[in-house]
Structure 1
Amino acid sequence: MATHKSMPFFVNRKDIVFVKSSKSTPQEVLLLSTMDNDPTLEYIGQTIQVYKSNDLESPKDPVAVIKEALSKVLVFYYPLAGMLKRHKNDGRLRLYCNAGAGVPFLEASANCKLSSLHYLDCLDIAVTKKLVFDRPDDEIDVTRFSCGGFTIGMGMSHSVCDGFGAAQFYRALAELASGKSEPTVNPVWERNRLLVTTPEEPKSLVDKAFLATSRHIPPSDVVHEFYNISSESIKRLKKALRANESGENYTSFEILAAYVARAKFRSLEMNLDGYTVLSFTANIRNHLSPHIPDGYYGNAFFEPRMIMIGKNLSEGPLLKVVKMIANSKKKAITTESIMTLLRNMEWFIEKKVKSRVARGWTFFTDWRNLNLIEEVDFGWGASVNMIPLPFDVHGFIDLCVFMTPCRMDSLMKGGMRVFVSLPRACMAKFKEEMDVLKRGEVNNLI
């Protein structure tokens, strides 16, 4: 695992200002979808985009450019300046949009070069968090560095936007910063498309009493780290799998999700006779009939779930786990299966319980599909790195994020990063498991 020694650096923050829409916007109360109302999504997801200095051009100050673009994009995305509240009577979320509301904006400067922080690549999260501020609402932070580079921190309510929705907003912000008068994709609210009123009690995959346990859960001391997986390591594992499956091809996501799930299970020292659940996100925008319109930025994802005995995950052939994930991805996501999911969510909302459990669960999300590192340009070239910040969801340790590597690391071209959160006592064991892949010792894994 690539690591960089944390170095003290000073971030000088100015006072928070509220950036308002450059034009008048509606004053209204917006309802959210059943999926948006899922209590497990009620948090602010934070990311940091890293932009190095552009030696060929001298554009305007990034703070001024982004602040102006924010005021323009809020004409189209004015709900993001609204106030989100659960109604005291029915417990449903409502978004209160006020014409004079704004989005918190923080300008800051750091007394070092981005290169001295390795462009935040695998940097200590405690250091990285200095580049954002914690607020219970959406926010934008821009921090200049002495080299001329800068970072953009963004906090978005997951109740209002999923990953694709947040990426859509971020692209729109960049487009308006680059001089366009309106976004290429205009935002669509229409949360009624994923709204149901008839609850349906979900069928349980497994009794919670039979889920695998660990003496490390619930965790008292959680650490968050990135692990770099080179393209060569991925190719070796794919080749070994093809040799044992008569030429069957599996995606990088499928094989690495299986490998990481096993490494996590072993590092947590979970009981082998307990059940474990693997899950991942799948975009449903094109699976409903009629389709969700382009521009919809609310939550619109499915979570295929697989259950298996811990012994099979930890000690069985890795190929079986890969096949299980691949087969789950191939299953048709139909309009009916999506509506069943929504009815299940409605049942959880009415019962005021969270639908997920932390114990025995590993949840994967693939941010490479968002294409935010290479495609979004505010006038200084594409981003060179993107960092997710940990948030208090799923007990911290269930979520694994697959990401594009930092573009400043030439050795990682074509590779992948995985962001993991584990109890401190388990991280060393996780690294040992991942290092087996790095060393190319794959033949005994299949």
Structure 2
Amino acid sequence: MVPARNFLDGANAREVELDRVVARAPDADRTPASAAALQPLSGYDVGEVPFVMQAVCYYEKTLDVGTLERGLRAALGKYPMLAGRLDLETKGWWNKGVRLTNDGVPLRVVRDDDQKFEDLPRDYADATRRFLDFAPWIDLMLGDAPVFTAKVTQCAGGGSVLGVCMSHAVSDGQGFIEFLVTWAKAANNEAHPWGDPVFDRSLVAQPEADMSVEDMRAMLSEEGFDNINSGAMLANALFAGRTLVPDFLRFPAGNRMMVSIKEENMRALREASGATNDNEALSAHSWLALADLCDLPKGAPLEHVTVVSGRGGRTGLPDMYFGNAAIGVVTGRVSVGDYSTLAQVRDGLRPGFTKAMMRRNKYLMLTEAAFRAGVNGFDFDIMAFMQGQMVWCNNLVEIYKKLYDLDFGTGGPTLALPPELNDIVQIQCSRPDRATGAPAGANGVEMFINLPPAVMRKLREPDSVARLAGQTGVR
């Protein structure tokens, strides 16, 4: 097989490599994969193997690479699986995991004499991919690539960019961010305030141990998790503009747009919807705005889906659980024209939110069962998701606000670009305002929208942007 990296543009010709470090967990030797212990993955984890999470942070003061390296080694002592390699060769989901080989995490340092800090891109675009050492999913699946990579780009005249990538197979977005917090804390000789990570996959709600594949499939069908043909699913995804390489089933890099919803407009959305919190208001707003703007006929299905975390609370997983524990759940099986005001949308979605929280462990169990049974089954309409005919709303404000706390000794980032996920609507905190000194999250939110390229062309029109920003059409 041709290595997937051949599909990429390769190193930027302007860059000069200054250093190439491999950071390993301390007090542990490198071990051949054949002899290394296996950190098992859940069936859900294995299903996320093709996906890679990324984040890019801009630091006005130049990062000290020695401090980064020292902190990374210490953090890998807590997260040894990130220094290992995927092993998916043995049949059976229970035999798949990460071999704790301590092959290490590559930390590469480059200098770009043509890139001034003040000229850095202000949002994800094709250009920002060069700040990442992106490990393509095919190489990850073959065990030929690290599950975590880091790259530092030193800018002309001072300032740095830190770009990181993590395989979705080892964790979801919250685990990703908590590892980065652990790294930054370790660089300052501190511990994560929540303690050490938890890797035990048996803590996740699972099907009964004696359930056969046939029993799991029957249970899934009864719950509406019916199997969808993989070929048809992929065809729908490609037709909508999703790609297979280098990102798997994601719209092309730079496709998404960022819309700023200022606090004054957030206030108007809360008042018009009668929502009790920002998440309710934003969920109602995103559905109604996209129903208005996507040129779908009245009566066309437009499900609302939210992402529910299995962590926290009396019945949830530990906050420091490192693995996939967030699931997409339908909060409204609705169609265009069902609602005409924000208050109606809020009332329509509220029972779905309550059900999602009450049944989150059940949904985690069903998701696990689907992967174990080899079923492409989901609570939501996966075909509509692939086509981008859905409002999948993932509120990540509190999680990704922590990106601004990643201080490696020179202060936190002035801008943190969160992972470019498959989410159709991703909510992130507002960025810091250097003119006023307002910190991240002080002035509303940023809404990242990622729909088929043909739809995005319309959404980028000024009238559409104003509607999405809550400046017009609030009713």
Task: Using structure 2 for the length normalisation, give the TM-score.
Answer: 0.76
Q: Distance in 2 between the 1:181 and 1:28 partners? A: 26
Q: Distance in 2 between the 1:271 and 1:207 partners? A: 28
Q: CA offset at residue 441 of structure 1?
A: 3.1
**Secondary structure of the residue that 1:109 maps to in structure 2?**
strand
Of 316-325 and 101-110, more deviation after overlay is shown by 316-325
Letter of the 1:324 counterpart: G
Task: Tell me, yes or no, if the aligned pair for 2:310 and 2:360 is still in contact at 8 Å.
Answer: no
Task: Tell me, yes or no, if the aligned pair for 2:41 and 2:98 is still in contact at 8 Å.
Answer: no
- Give the structure 2 partner of residue 129 of structure 1: 129
Is 1:228 equivalent to 2:229 in the alignment? no
Among 227, 234, 241, the alignment partner of 1:219 is: 241
Among 31, 34, 41, the alignment partner of 1:32 is: 41
Is 1:185 equivalent to 2:195 in the alignment? yes
Letter of the 1:165 counterpart: G
Q: Distance in 2 between the 1:104 and 1:323 partners? A: 49
Alignment of 1:341-360 (within 5 A): 341-353=364-376, 355=378, 356-357=382-383, 358-359=386-387, 360=389
Among 55, 63, 66, the alignment partner of 1:47 is: 55
Task: Tell me, yes or no, if the aligned pair for 2:259 and 2:468 is still in contact at 8 Å.
Answer: no
Among 326, 329, 352, the alignment partner of 1:304 is: 329
- Give the structure 1 partner of residue 224 of structure 2: 204
Task: Tell me, yes or no, if the aligned pair for 2:227 and 2:377 is still in contact at 8 Å.
Answer: no
Alignment of 1:32-111 (within 5 A): 32-37=41-46, 39-40=47-48, 42-53=50-61, 62-91=64-93, 94-111=96-113
Q: Distance in 2 between the 1:138 and 1:51 partners? A: 21
Task: Tell me, yes or no, if the aligned pair for 1:385 and 1:407 is still in contact at 8 Å.
Answer: yes
Q: Residues 409, 435 of structure 1: CA spacing in aligned structure 2 closer, same or farther, 3 A cutoff?
A: farther
Task: Tell me, yes or no, if the aligned pair for 1:40 and 1:354 is still in contact at 8 Å.
Answer: no
Among 419, 433, 439, the alignment partner of 2:464 is: 433
Among 374, 389, 394, the alignment partner of 2:404 is: 374
Is 1:361 equivalent to 2:390 in the alignment? yes
List per-residue Cα deviations over 1:406-427 (Å, max 9, x = no partner).
2145588412111122333322
Q: CA offset at residue 47 of structure 1?
A: 0.9
List per-residue Cα deviations over 1:46-74 (Å, max 9, x = no partner).
111222228xxxxxx52221112111211
**Secondary structure of the residue that 1:305 maps to in structure 2?**
strand
Q: Distance in 2 between the 1:285 and 1:28 partners? A: 27
Task: Tell me, yes or no, if the aligned pair for 1:82 and 1:95 is still in contact at 8 Å.
Answer: no
Task: Tell me, yes or no, if the aligned pair for 1:113 and 1:145 is still in contact at 8 Å.
Answer: yes
- Give the structure 1 partner of residue 426 of structure 2: 401
Task: Tell me, yes or no, if the aligned pair for 1:193 and 1:292 is still in contact at 8 Å.
Answer: yes
Q: Distance in 1 between the 2:397 and 2:470 partners? A: 25
**Secondary structure of the residue that 1:285 maps to in structure 2?**
coil
- Give the structure 2 partner of residue 271 of structure 1: 297
List per-residue Cα deviations over 1:111-135 (Å, max 9, x = no partner).
3222222xx423x511111101221
Task: Tell me, yes or no, if the aligned pair for 1:81 and 1:97 is still in contact at 8 Å.
Answer: no
Q: CA offset at residue 152 of structure 1?
A: 1.5
Q: Residues 434, 92 of structure 1: CA spacing in aligned structure 2 closer, same or farther, 3 A cutoff?
A: farther
Letter of the 1:435 counterpart: A
Task: Tell me, yes or no, if the aligned pair for 1:227 and 1:417 is still in contact at 8 Å.
Answer: yes
- Give the structure 2 partner of residue 322 of structure 1: 346
Q: Distance in 1 between the 2:263 and 2:431 partners? A: 13
Q: CA RMSD in A?
A: 3.3
Q: Distance in 2 between the 1:204 and 1:365 partners? A: 22
Q: Distance in 2 between the 1:134 and 1:215 partners? A: 22
List per-residue Cα deviations over 1:164-216 (Å, max 9, x = no partner).
211111111001111237876111111111143442314238999xxxxx999
Q: Distance in 1 between the 2:296 and 2:94 partners? A: 37
Letter of the 1:12 counterpart: V
Q: CA offset at residue 307 of structure 1?
A: 3.2
Q: CA offset at residue 10 of structure 1?
A: 3.6
- Give the structure 1 partner of residue 148 of structure 2: 138
Higher relative contact order (CA 8 A, sep 6+): 1
Of 198-207 and 322-331, more deviation after overlay is shown by 198-207
- Give the structure 2 partner of residue 57 of structure 1: none
Q: Distance in 1 between the 2:237 and 2:341 partners? A: 25
Of 184-193 and 426-435, more deviation after overlay is shown by 426-435
Letter of the 1:257 counterpart: S
Q: Distance in 2 between the 1:219 and 1:322 partners? A: 31
Q: CA offset at residue 93 of structure 1?
A: 6.2
Q: Residues 348, 361 of structure 1: CA spacing in aligned structure 2 closer, same or farther, 3 A cutoff?
A: farther
Q: Distance in 1 between the 2:285 and 2:226 partners? A: 23
List per-residue Cα deviations over 1:31-58 (Å, max 9, x = no partner).
1224323x2564111111222228xxxx
Q: Residues 99, 115 of structure 1: CA spacing in aligned structure 2 closer, same or farther, 3 A cutoff?
A: same
- Give the structure 2 partner of residue 415 of structure 1: 444
Q: CA offset at residue 429 of structure 1?
A: 2.5
Letter of the 1:89 counterpart: K
**Secondary structure of the residue that 2:276 maps to in structure 1?**
coil
Q: Residues 256, 205 of structure 1: CA spacing in aligned structure 2 closer, same or farther, 3 A cutoff?
A: farther
Task: Tell me, yes or no, if the aligned pair for 2:227 and 2:376 is still in contact at 8 Å.
Answer: no
Count of residue correspondences: 409
